[in-house]
Amino acid sequence: MNPSSRHAAEAALTEQVVQSFAKADNPRLRTLMQSLVRHLHAFALDVELTMEEWELAIGFLTATGHMCDDKRQEFILLSDTLGLSMLVDAINHRSVEGATETTVLGPFYVPPLNVSPADADISGGAAGTPLHVSAQVRSACGTPLADAWVDVWQSDDDGYYDVQKPGQEENLRARFVTDAEGRFSFWSIVPVPYPIPTDGPVGKMLGHVGRHPYRPAHIHFMIGKEGYDTLVTHLFIEGDQYLESDAVFGVKRQLVVHLDDADGGWTASGDRMGPHKRLKHDFGLRASSILNQ
């Protein structure tokens, strides 16, 4: 077959597959499937995919699926490391003046068991530099939001979340509710950079392409209040060596914060604190679209 009739046959195959979805009742499903086929075929043609590469890809996806259950989600990790999670986040959370930027949820969110009081120490005695966090939650227009719920979670000084340690009780995660002025505060430890899980196919993929698995030090926040979009974000610590090369591309300039040096203060349970780092930050929530209510 000469090159031009080969190209015509390949284009005809793509069109035949695209048309096989033409009768889908759901127009959105039709758009998604037809576009997916066009891009998938274009990719295979672009790189002249070999049979061996196709088999390798099927093996990789199969191994990824085998590493998914209610505790581990290797497909989301794949999406994260390919930048797809952050792209979908960007498409769905276009910047709004006064609203805090969003970033990836990550696999380690678990709803906290109880509401903690202001200035609770969530470190459970974990090693690390003490950190006091105080923040105000406002609407994007600047109105303080009372009674917003605020979930926070972070890794320990060794870079592990409580849910990654068998038998570990809830630690370094908590829920707060904002006061009449929209404020919440807590004691914790300064987070450290840590690697995303590397014991699966995604970790192998990163190794093969010479990418490191590290995320810059961060604290996760999820903040919600009726009438507002739930904010899923992190605060990253200024000066971290991985800010420019986050394994999951989650860093946004606005989310990088400075820690001050401070001394003294009390935890909710009456413990006197010594020298520590201090983080002050304000969060802005965007009002829910009327169409979503």
Which residues would be at the binding site for ligand BEZ (CB under 6 A)?
A: 77, 80, 104, 106-108, 196, 215, 248
CB of residue 156 to ligand BEZ, shortest distance in Å: 13
Nearest residue to 65 (alpha-carbon basis) of 74, 55, 78, 77? 74
Q: Which CB sits closer to ligand BEZ, 184 or 221?
A: 221
Q: Which two tokens stand for residue 30?
A: 């039709």
CB of 179 within 8 A of CB of 185? no
202 binds, among ligand BEZ, Fe ion, none (CB under 5 to 8 A by kind): none
DSSP string, 129-179: -EEEEEEEEEETTS-B-TT-EEEEE---TTS--GGGSTTPPS-SEEEEE--
At 266, give phi and psi (nearest 5°): -130, 145
CB of 131 within 8 A of CB of 278? yes
CB of residue 247 to ligand BEZ, shortest distance in Å: 7
Q: Which CB sits closer to Fe ion, 132 or 234?
A: 234
Nearest residue to 284 (alpha-carbon basis) of 233, 216, 218? 233
CB of 268 within 8 A of CB of 117? yes
192 binds, among Fe ion, ligand BEZ, none (CB under 5 to 8 A by kind): none
Q: Which CB sits closer to ligand BEZ, 103 or 136?
A: 103
At 130, give phi and psi (nearest 5°): -60, 145
CB of residue 85 to ligand BEZ, shortest distance in Å: 7
160 binds, among ligand BEZ, Fe ion, none (CB under 5 to 8 A by kind): none
248 binds, among Fe ion, ligand BEZ, none (CB under 5 to 8 A by kind): ligand BEZ
Q: Which CB sits closer to ligand BEZ, 10 or 238?
A: 238
CB of residue 215 to ligand BEZ, shortest distance in Å: 5
CB of 221 within 8 A of CB of 149? no
What is the x/- site pattern for Fe ion, positions 95-134, by CB under 5 A? Answer: -----------x----------------------------
Q: Which CB sits closer to ligand BEZ, 122 or 145?
A: 122
Q: Which CB sits closer to Fe ion, 106 or 130?
A: 106
Query: Alpha carbon 288 to chain centroid distance?
Result: 21
Residue 286: partners with Cβ closer than 8 Å, 6 or more residues away: 96, 99, 140, 228, 229, 231
CB of residue 105 to ligand BEZ, shortest distance in Å: 7
CB of residue 91 to ligand BEZ, shortest distance in Å: 18
Where on the chain is the footprint of Fe ion (CB under 5 A)?
106
